[in-house]
């Protein structure tokens, strides 16, 4: 039998495709299909009910994702049974009602599908055994109710209302999620059976308070408790069947359902009483007071719903067994009479074309049957004897009287609140009855009211019949239902229930009489209430507050962001570096002192500082500082940078690494030259200086980053660590026959890497060549003085004899490379620089005419040579690039170490020469469009180039 339990939840979802299928047959078929689904649900429930009525809870449990506590498990107990009955029963009536209510041109498919999906979600909430599963369905109801409220989407009201309802209930659902996670953590499971058994453990846990608050947030938002009540009256923009179903009978009851569901686990503490009873009492009074003031009768009913939900909440908060029974009883009664009242309201709305009670009067004459139904239902709302509302209200009064706490004068607080609420509710019920059905003739209605179709009245008749039957014979009609439901809420500790109309003449009865009399008096003097309200009430309603909060949040976020969201690269980089410094500083400062004595300096002793090194260091710092300071003066900045680079090269010499120094020096020269060439396409000065403040800020970030990096380097270098350089130094001679370790690494130990690297270098050069060839860039206008002296004669004369000399040096450096500082890479750079100087001194046309080298071809040859060396050793049966060496005695030269790696080095040499020249000459050739000359001495802001690739100041 339990196997059918999930079907109870799935049934409405299974109905969805059915509706789509019968869509072609017209709206009647669609309505029949939807109604049949609801009735099938009732039938299934009837089949499952007997064991539940006998006091058992049906539980079906299938593990789904046990790791995350999510299981497919359902539970049908008394409380679930009650709600399932309401959802399917009232649902069936609503479908019938909606068929007549919705305009004839509405095909109903979309509407009823959403309604069914909502019913499915609601069933999931009440039948889920796993709390996480319940939460899933909880939000299904939020989403579908959003769609239902926004159903008449062309009206602005319904769109705003739908958004508000979703924001409040959806947000509350997320709070509930947090609460459930905590609850599951405390109880050790998300299964209700487990949680309900561990009430004591939960109540004593230190996380009880935050968990309770979060869970209650979920419940209160859903049940429209103050201060989250404002979405409900606005949700009345929905079609009336939706209001009748969601906003009176089912969805808003999900919140109080949750209170009932978790009652055994959470109730019974001071905090529970304060929060739940307090919220309930405020909601009860405020809702009842505001209801009278509404001229729109749907608004009146909405506030009345809020008030009744407050009443139920209050009863759960009182936390005595009988009060919980009263709460459950009122859930039933309220669902029945409020649904019928909304249906009556819908009929009136359609028949009169307005919902303003100042214009709708005297409908008793026009639709006597409907009016009678409405009057009876309103009587139940007011708590008139022999109607169901009277019974639960009486129980409520009795509970407030019996409640033991407060002491002294405090004893009267709860009964007083209850009586006042009773007076108010009689007042608004009286207004509804008197204004709508009596009170003279209708005023200026858009159309003449007529009775509704026969079958539209049927749902109301059924519900009102229940109102009367329960009111007259409570124990017979609903005693059984109330008993099982209460047993579920109270976890088997339910008191014996004896429902009766007459309890004898006692205090609650006096309170009822006072409420009835006072209410009628209150309604009689209502004009005075209206005046007072208009005079003193703040012109500030919750929807307005919501909108303000909504817009305010947007504005605030925008303003906050304007400060955070800098959007320029400089600011981002500053932020990034600043944060990196901060993170580093935090890591240093927060680490415990015992990790090492002096955290920054390691155990290694410091080398003594000699004056020359100190001087060089100062020059280095000055160079870097100068480059930073004169960053806008581009030429100066580059010169300063070259100073810094030079000192670095010298530092290598100082620490006895001439090979590294030479490499560094040649790379330095080539890059500086590259930058100088690029400078021609940039204005002479950079973008305008920023303010002093910004300079200080960027300056401090720069200094901080520099100091941080220095500190890290210092920390690293003062600590002993093993490097692989020892291995290379020891093995360079015996294994590769060379003493220049750098060169040996390049051509031998890491020959494979080098082959890859020169290939990359070649690719980069070719890429630049391909990108720049044929590009047209306009160089910047220079003044006449410098233009006249473009190629100084002295330089040109000096450079021509330099070329063979420089090339000779290159060859020398190349040959000795294996043992002494030098090698193919450095030699290549030297040769390339020698050539480039020719270009610089004589101009591109002059040099191109004399240097007839095809650099692309050269590049290919170099790569080929290098690769073939590797292949050759493979052919000879060695691994790729394995080298061999020998020494050749050749007078008048020194010993020349002839290694096979020399051939490989030749390849490197060629590739380096060709790459550097390819890139530099291509850059030098660029400016084809010669700018016009301008008179000397006016170096103002220049026009920007038409299409400069290096436009870096974004």
Binding footprint of another protein, residue count (CB under 8 A): 76
Q: Across-strand partners of 895?
A: 889
Range in contact with another protein (rule: CB under 8 A) among 39-47, 160-168, 232-240, 488-496: 160-168
3-state SS of 9-48 is: HHHHHHHHHHHHHHHHHCHHHHHHHHHHHHHHHHHHHHHH
Which of 536/721 has CB closer to another protein? 721
| Binder of another protein out of 140, 326, 382, 673 (CB under 8 A) | 140
Q: Which of 194, 577, 622, 787 lies at the binding interface for another protein (CB under 8 A)?
A: 577
- Give the three-class secondary structure for 220: helix
Q: Output the smallest distance, CB 570 to another protein, in A.
A: 10
Q: Establish if 594 lies at the interface with another protein (CB under 8 A).
A: yes
User: Considering only residues 49, 143, 401, 651, which one is a binding residue for another protein as defined by CB under 8 A?
Assistant: 143
Q: What SS3 state is found at 177?
A: helix
Residues 8-47 that bind another protein (CB under 8 A): none
Q: How far is the CB of 762 from another protein (least distance, A)?
A: 16
- Which of the stretches 108-116, 314-322, 584-592, 748-756 binds another protein when contact is defined by CB under 8 A? 584-592
DSSP 525: T
Indicate whether 142 belongs to the interface with another protein (CB under 8 A): yes
721 contributes a contact to another protein by CB under 8 A: yes
Nearer to another protein (CB atom), residue 64 or residue 885 = 64
Window contacting another protein (CB under 8 A); options: 43-51, 138-146, 225-233, 485-493: 138-146
Q: Establish whether the linkage from the previous residue to 227 is cis, with ω within 30° of 0.
A: yes
Q: Rounded to an integer, what distance in angstroms lies between the CA atom of residue 305 and that of residue 173?
A: 21
The reply to whether 726 sits near another protein by the rule CB under 8 A is no
Secondary structure class of 943 (helix, strand, coil): coil
Residue at token pair 């046990």 = 66
Regarding 212 and contact with another protein (CB under 8 A), the answer is no
264 Cβ contact partners less than 8 Å away, ≥ 6 residues apart: 196, 199, 489, 490, 491
| 313 C-beta neighbours (distance < 10 Å), count | 28
Does residue 583 interact with another protein by CB under 8 A? yes
CB of 223 closer than 8 Å to CB of 163? no
The answer to the question of residue 771 lying near another protein (CB under 8 A) is no
Among 56, 58, 70, CA closest to 9:
58
Query: Binders of another protein among 935-954, rule CB under 8 A?
Result: 952, 954
For residue 507, the tally of other CB atoms under 10 A from its CB is 13
DSSP E strands: which ranges in 231-351? none
Between the alpha carbon of residue 92 and those of residues 77, 85, 99, 217, 374, the distances in Å are 22, 11, 11, 31, 20
Indicate whether 138 belongs to the interface with another protein (CB under 8 A). yes
**Which is it for the CA torsion 424, 426, 427, 432, positive or negative?**
positive
Show the DSSP H helices in 565-691 as ranges: 569-590, 611-629, 634-654, 658-679
Q: Which of 3, 538, 564, 788 binds another protein (CB under 8 A)?
A: 564
Contact 158, 151 (CB under 8 A): yes
Nearer to another protein, 579 or 785 (CB): 579
Report the alpha-carbon distance of residue 267 to residue 603 in Å, rounded: 64
Binding mask 53-92 for another protein (x = CB under 8 A): -----------xx-xxxx----------------------
CB of 598 to another protein, least distance (A): 11
* Residue 402 or 715 with smaller CB distance to another protein: 715
Residue 201 touching another protein (CB under 8 A): no
Min dist. Cβ of residue 68 to another protein (A): 5
Please say which residue, 565 or 854, places its beta carbon nearer to another protein.
565
901 belongs to the binding site for another protein (CB under 8 A): no
Contact string 673-712 vs another protein (x = CB under 8 A)? ------------------------------------x--x
If one asks whether residue 188 binds another protein (CB under 8 A), the answer comes out as no
**411 DSSP assignment:** G
Nearer to another protein, 591 or 886 (CB): 591
Gap between the Cα atoms of 914 and 443, Å rounded: 99
Q: Which of 110, 152, 163, 769 binds another protein (CB under 8 A)?
A: 163
Q: Interface with another protein includes 576 (CB under 8 A)? A: yes
Mask for 397-416, x = binds another protein (CB under 8 A): --------------------
* Stretch 307-346: interaction string toward another protein, x if CB under 8 A: ----------------------------------------
Residue from 441, 722, 789, 930 that binds another protein (CB under 8 A)? 722
Least separation, in Å, of the C-beta of 108 and another protein?
19
772 binds another protein (CB under 8 A): no
Q: Which stretch binds another protein (CB under 8 A): 166-174, 271-279, 408-416, 453-461?
A: 166-174
- Minimum CB separation of residue 606 from another protein in Å reads 18
* Alpha-carbon gap, residue 325 to 128, rounded angstroms: 22
Give dist(CA 228, CA 165) in Å, integer. 10
Q: How many CB atoms lie within 10 A of CB 152?
A: 16
Tokens of 494: 């339910």
Closer to another protein by Cβ: residue 598 or 875 = 598
For residue 100, CA distances in Å to 28, 97, 347, 767 come to 10, 6, 10, 76
CB of 717 to another protein, least distance (A): 9
Verify binding: residue 640, another protein, rule CB under 8 A.
no
Closest approach, Cβ 644 to another protein, in A, equals: 18
Q: Which of residues 543-562 bind another protein (CB under 8 A)?
A: 550, 553-554, 557-558, 560-561
For β-strands 70-76 and 885-889, DSSP reports them as unpaired
Token output for 110: 């979309």
Please give the residues from 100 up to 129 whose contact with another protein meets the rule CB under 8 A.
Answer: 121
DSSP character string of 695-734: HHHHHHHHHHHHHHHHHHHHHHHTS----SHHHHHHHHHH
Q: Are 137 and 128 a contacting pair, CB within 8 Å?
A: yes
| Bridge partners (DSSP) listed for residue 889 | 895
Who contacts 854 (Cβ-Cβ below 8 Å, separation ≥6)? Answer: none
Q: Contact region for another protein (CB under 8 A) — 334-342, 531-539, 719-727, 793-801? A: 719-727
Are the CB atoms for 74 and 128 separated by under 8 Å? yes
Tell me which of 131, 214, 470, 516 binds another protein, using CB under 8 A: 214
Q: Which residue of 1, 513, 544, 566 would you call a contact of another protein, by CB under 8 A? A: 566
* DSSP strands (E only) in 163-241: none
Contact 600, 714 (CB under 8 A): yes
Of 185, 295, 359, 750, the one binding another protein (CB under 8 A) is: 185
Q: C-beta of 555: minimal distance to another protein in Å?
A: 8
Q: 781: which residues sit within 8 A by CB, 6+ positions away?
A: 931, 932, 933, 934, 942, 943
Distance of CA 705 to the CA centre of its chain: 33
Q: Which of 10, 153, 365, 517 binds another protein (CB under 8 A)?
A: 153
Question: 715 or 898: whose CB is closer to another protein?
Answer: 715
Query: Which string of x and - marks every residue 244-283 that binds another protein (by CB under 8 A)?
Result: ----------------------------------------
**Among residues 412, 480, 530, 572, which is the contact residue for another protein, using CB under 8 A?**
572
Contact flag: residue 535 with another protein (CB under 8 A): no
Q: What is the 3-state secondary structure (H, E, C) of 569-600?
A: HHHHHHHHHHHHHHHHHHHHHHCCHHHCCCCC
């Amino acid at each position: 039998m339990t196997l059918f339990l999930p079907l109870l939840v799935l049934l409405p979802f299974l109905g969805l495709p059915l509706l789509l299928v019968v869509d072609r047959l017209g709206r009647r078929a669609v309505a029949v299909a939807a109604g049949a689904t609801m009735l099938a649900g009732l039938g299934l429930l009837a089949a499952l009910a007997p064991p539940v009525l006998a006091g058992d809870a049906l539980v079906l449990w299938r593990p789904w994702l046990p790791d995350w506590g999510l299981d497919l498990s359902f539970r049908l107990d008394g409380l679930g049974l009650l709600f399932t009955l309401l959802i399917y029963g009232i649902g069936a009536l609503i479908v019938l009602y909606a068929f007549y209510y919705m305009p004839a041109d509405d095909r109903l498919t979309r509407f009823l599908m959403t309604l069914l999906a909502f019913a499915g979600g609601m069933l999931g909430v009440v039948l889920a055994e796993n709390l996480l599963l319940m939460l899933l369905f909880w939000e299904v109801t939020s989403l579908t109710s959003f769609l239902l409220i926004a159903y008449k989407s062309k009206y602005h009201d319904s769109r705003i209302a739908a958004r508000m309802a979703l924001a409040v209930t959806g947000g509350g659902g997320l709070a509930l999620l947090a609460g459930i996670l905590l609850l599951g953590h405390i109880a050790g499971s998300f299964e209700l059976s487990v949680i309900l058994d561990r009430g004591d453990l939960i109540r004593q846990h230190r996380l009880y308070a935050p968990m309770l608050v979060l869970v209650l947030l979920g419940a209160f938002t859903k049940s429209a408790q103050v201060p989250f009540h404002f979405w409900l009256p606005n949700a009345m923009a929905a079609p009336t069947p939706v209001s009748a179903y969601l906003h009176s009978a089912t969805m808003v009851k999900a919140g109080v359902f949750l209170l009932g569901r978790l009652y055994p686990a959470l109730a019974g503490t001071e905090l529970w009483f304060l929060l739940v009873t307090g919220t309930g009492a405020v909601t009860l009074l405020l809702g009842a007071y505001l209801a009278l003031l509404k001229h729109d009768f749907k608004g009146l009913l909405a506030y009345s719903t809020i008030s009744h939900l407050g009443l139920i909440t209050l009863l759960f908060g009182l936390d005595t067994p009988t009060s919980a029974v009263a709460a459950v009883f009122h859930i039933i009664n309220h669902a029945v009479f409020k649904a019928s009242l909304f249906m009556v309201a819908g009929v009136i709305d359609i028949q009169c074309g307005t919902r303003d009670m100042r214009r709708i009067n005297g409908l008793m004459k026009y639709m006597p049957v409907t009016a009678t139904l409405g009057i009876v239902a309103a009587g139940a709302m007011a708590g008139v004897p022999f109607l169901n509302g009277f019974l639960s209200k009486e129980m409520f009064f009795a509970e407030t009287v019996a409640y033991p706490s407060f002491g002294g004068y405090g004893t009267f607080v709860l009964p007083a609140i209850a009586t006042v609420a009773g007076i108010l509710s009689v007042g608004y019920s009286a207004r509804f009855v008197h204004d709508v059905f009596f009170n003279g003739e209708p005023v200026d209605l858009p159309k003449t009211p007529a009775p509704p179709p026969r079958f539209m009245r049927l749902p109301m008749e059924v519900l009102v019949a229940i109102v009367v039957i329960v009111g007259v014979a409570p124990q017979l009609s609903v005693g059984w239902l109330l008993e099982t439901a209460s047993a579920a809420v109270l976890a088997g500790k339910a008191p014996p229930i004896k429902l009766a109309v007459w309890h004898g003449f006692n205090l609650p009865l006096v309170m009822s009489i006072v409420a009835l009399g006072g209410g009628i008096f209150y309604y009689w003097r209502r004009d005075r209430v209206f005046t007072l309200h208009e005079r003193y009430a703040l012109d500030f309603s919750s929807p307005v507050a919501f909108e303000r909060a909504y817009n305010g949040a947007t504005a605030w976020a925008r303003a906050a962001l304007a400060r955070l969201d800098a959007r320029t690269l400089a600011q981002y980089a500053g932020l990034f570096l600043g944060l990196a410094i901060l993170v580093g500083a935090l890591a240093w400062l927060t680490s415990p002192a015992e990790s090492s004595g002096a955290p920054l300096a390691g155990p290694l002793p410091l080398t003594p500082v000699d004056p020359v090194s100190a001087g060089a260091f100062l020059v280095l710092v000055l160079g870097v500082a100068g480059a930073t300071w004169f960053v806008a003066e581009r030429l100066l900045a580059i010169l300063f940078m070259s100073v810094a680079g030079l000192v670095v090269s010298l530092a290598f010499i100082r620490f006895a690494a001439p090979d590294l120094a030479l490499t560094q020096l040649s790379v330095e020269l080539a890059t500086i030259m590259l930058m100088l060439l690029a400078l021609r396409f940039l204005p002479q000065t950079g973008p305008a200086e920023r303010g002093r403040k910004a300079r200080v800020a960027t300056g401090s970030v720069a200094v901080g980053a520099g100091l941080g990096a220095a500190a890290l380097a210092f920390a690293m270098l003062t600590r002993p660590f093993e490097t692989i350089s020892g291995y290379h130094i020891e093995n360079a001679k015996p294994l590769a026959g060379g003493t220049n370790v750098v060169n040996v690494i390049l051509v031998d130990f890491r020959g494979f890497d080098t082959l890859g690297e020169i290939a990359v270098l070649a690719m980069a050069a070719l890429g630049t060549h391909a990108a720049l060839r044929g590009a047209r860039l306009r160089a910047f206008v220079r003044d006449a003085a410098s233009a006249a002296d473009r190629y100084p004669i002295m330089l040109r004369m000096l450079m021509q004899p330099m070329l063979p000399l420089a090339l000779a040096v290159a060859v020398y450096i190349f040959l000795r490379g294996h043992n002494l500082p030098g090698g193919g890479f450095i030699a290549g750079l030297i040769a390339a620089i020698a050539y480039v100087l020719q270009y610089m001194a004589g101009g591109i046309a002059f040099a191109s005419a004399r240097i007839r080298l095809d650099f692309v071809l050269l590049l290919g040859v170099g790569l080929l040579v290098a690769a073939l060396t590797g292949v050759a050793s493979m052919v000879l049966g060695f691994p790729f690039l394995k080298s061999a060496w020998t020494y050749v005695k050749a007078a008048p030269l020194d010993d020349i170490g002839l290694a096979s790696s020399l051939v490989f080095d030749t390849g490197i040499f060629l590739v380096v020469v060709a790459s550097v020249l390819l890139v530099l000459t291509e850059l030098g050739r660029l400016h084809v469009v010669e700018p016009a000359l301008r008179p000397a001495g006016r170096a103002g802001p220049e026009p920007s180039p038409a299409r400069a690739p290096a436009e870096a100041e974004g």
